[in-house]
Amino acid sequence: MGKLDAEERDNIPKKDFGLPGEKKYPMPDKSHAANAKARASQMVNAGKLSESSEEKIDAKANRVLGSSGRHKEHR
């Protein structure tokens, strides 16, 4: 996964973000989608993201990844 520079990030459509209203968790490709899932999980564990936001991010990432995802049993 390559790091997005400011111009690349600005050119990503809102629909390609896990939280499009905030333009957070960009997912222009599969590697960024997988990373978004991991970062969202970390932020929930740190108390900085709600579980409902994580579910939205995971759902979007799963669509990008082409997988159904699995229900998380433990954090």
The whole-model pTM stands at 0.83
Q: Domain span at residue 35?
A: 20-65
Q: Considering the domain boundaries, does residue 43 fall inside one?
A: yes
pLDDT tens for each residue of the chain, 75 residues long: 778 899 999 999 999 999 999 999 999 999 999 999 999 999 999 999 999 999 999 999 999 999 765 544 444
Q: Which pLDDT score is estimated for 70?
A: 55
Number of domains in the chain: 1
| Residue among 16, 39, 34, 37 nearest 26 (CA) | 16
Cα 8 to Cα 41: distance, rounded to the nearest angstrom: 25
| Torsion sign across C-alpha atoms 73, 35, 48, 45 | positive
Q: Considering the domain boundaries, does residue 46 fall inside one?
A: yes
